[in-house]
């Protein structure tokens, strides 16, 4: 992940080798490369502009970093600004609520169902939660089967949804069943479409209203780059998402979605999917990712 950006930024920083200090000329030259590297990584162009302006201002500002040469100074500034771009402080889930209700939303194929299973496993393993899985995509029988299969693999209960049921009724009844079973984590795996549409948004709005989830997690396929960011913005406008789960990071060499989504939507990436296995989910740590990008 982020391989090409890592390489390009490395080249950009070469420009500062042998320089005595950061000045208008070498900063402009070096940042031109940084800008190209970010655009090539499919980062949103407005985000790139804001980023480069900010780095430039700091690099040419009063800030004197004793003991660091110009190359090290620019790397330090870029590292800090990349961390901010990726969301700043690590944002996990607020686990105080019992039951904790997580509503998974996103386009079809983004990884919602898989991520529901992964989060169930993660929160059981690390926080001792008792999960209850709720298949609420009644339009694709395969989606219900898929979540039931994951539930069996994980040995956790799931709501017996069928395609003739109403998704809002499913979610409402599922909360009663989860309480009966003593489950303190409910994951609603909602329907996705290939594109955003009004009917779907209305349905998701109705589920949100009926269940009052603490988190509405937008699940996005990192490999779709800026499309993921545009769709996140639309879901956030219509539904008010609380965070992002970025899937398929294992296949995303560029990183444009991860680097743009916080600035564009104001919502942080909370978890990343890094493979197809149920254990392939990690908390998203902006500072670690920034350091990884800078090699």
Element (H, E) at 83: helix 70-85
Among 135, 192, 255, 256, binds ligand GDP (CB under 6 A): 192
DSSP 234-257: HHHHHH---EEEEE-GGG-SS-HH
Count of residues touching ligand GDP (by CB under 6 A): 19
Instruction: DSSP letter for 158, please.
Output: B
Applying CB under 6 A, the span of 31-39, 119-127, 210-218, 274-282 interacting with ligand GDP comes to: 274-282
Which residues in 50-109 contact ligand GDP (CB under 6 A)?
Answer: 106, 108-109
Stretch that binds ligand GDP, among 40-48, 57-65, 198-206, 267-275 (CB under 6 A): 267-275
State yes or no: residue 273 binds ligand GDP (CB under 6 A): yes
Distances in whole angstroms, Cα of residue 204 to Cα of each of 31, 63, 214 = 43, 48, 14
Question: For ligand GDP, which residue of 15, 101, 248, 270 counts as binding (CB under 6 A)?
Answer: 248
* Least distance between ligand GDP and beta carbon 179 (Å): 26
Of 169 and 276, CB closest to ligand GDP: 276
* Options 30, 70, 87, 111; binder of ligand GDP; rule CB under 6 A: 111
Contact, 105 vs 173, CB < 8 A? Answer: no
177 CB contacts (<8 Å, ≥6 apart)? 132, 157, 159
How many Cα atoms sit within 13 Å of 146 on the Cβ side? 20
Is 118 annotated among the ligand-binding residues? no
Say whether residue 275 binds ligand GDP (CB under 6 A): yes
Of the two residues 75 and 191, which places its CB atom closer to ligand GDP in the complex? 191
Give the C-alpha separation, 140 to 201, whole Å. Answer: 17
Tell me: is residue 113 an annotated ligand-binding position: yes
Q: In whole angstroms, how large is the CA radius of gyration of the chain?
A: 21
- Residue 164 CB, shortest distance to ligand GDP, in Å, is 20
Query: Annotated binding residues, as ranges?
Result: 106-113, 189-193, 247-250
């Amino acid at each position: 992940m982020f391989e090409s950006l890592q390489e390009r930024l490395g080249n950009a920083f070469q420009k500062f080798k042998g320089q005595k200090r950061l000045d208008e000329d070498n900063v402009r030259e070096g940042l031109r490369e940084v800008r190209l590297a970010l655009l090539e990584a499919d980062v949103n162009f407005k985000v790139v502009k804001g980023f480069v302006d900010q780095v430039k201002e700091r690099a040419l500002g009063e800030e004197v970093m004793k003991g660091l040469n110009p190359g090290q100074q620019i790397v330090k500034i870029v590292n800090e600004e990349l961390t901010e771009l990726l969301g700043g402080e690590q944002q996990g889930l607020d686990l105080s609520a019992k039951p904790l209700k997580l509503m998974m939303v996103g386009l079809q194929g983004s990884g919602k169902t898989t991520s529901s299973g992964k989060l169930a496993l993660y929160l059981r393993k690390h926080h001792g939660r008792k999960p209850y899985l709720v298949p609420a995509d009644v339009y694709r029988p395969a989606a219900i089967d898929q979540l039931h299969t994951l539930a069996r693999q994980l040995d956790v209960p799931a709501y017996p949804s069928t395609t003739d049921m109403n998704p809002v009724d499913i979610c409402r009844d599922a909360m009663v069943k989860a309480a009966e079973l003593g489950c303190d984590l409910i994951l609603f795996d909602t329907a996705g479409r290939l594109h955003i549409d009004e009917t779907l948004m209305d349905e998701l709005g109705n589920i949100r209203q009926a269940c009052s989830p603490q988190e509405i997690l937008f699940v996005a396929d990192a490999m779709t780059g800026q499309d993921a960011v545009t769709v996140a913005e639309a879901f956030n406008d219509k539904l008010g998402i609380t965070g992002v789960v970025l899937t398929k990071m294992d296949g995303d060499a560029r990183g444009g979605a991860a680097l743009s989504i916080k600035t564009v939507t104001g919502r942080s990436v909370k978890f990343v999917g890094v493979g197809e296995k149920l254990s392939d989910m990690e908390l998203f740590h902006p500072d670690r990712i920034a350091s990884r990008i800078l090699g």
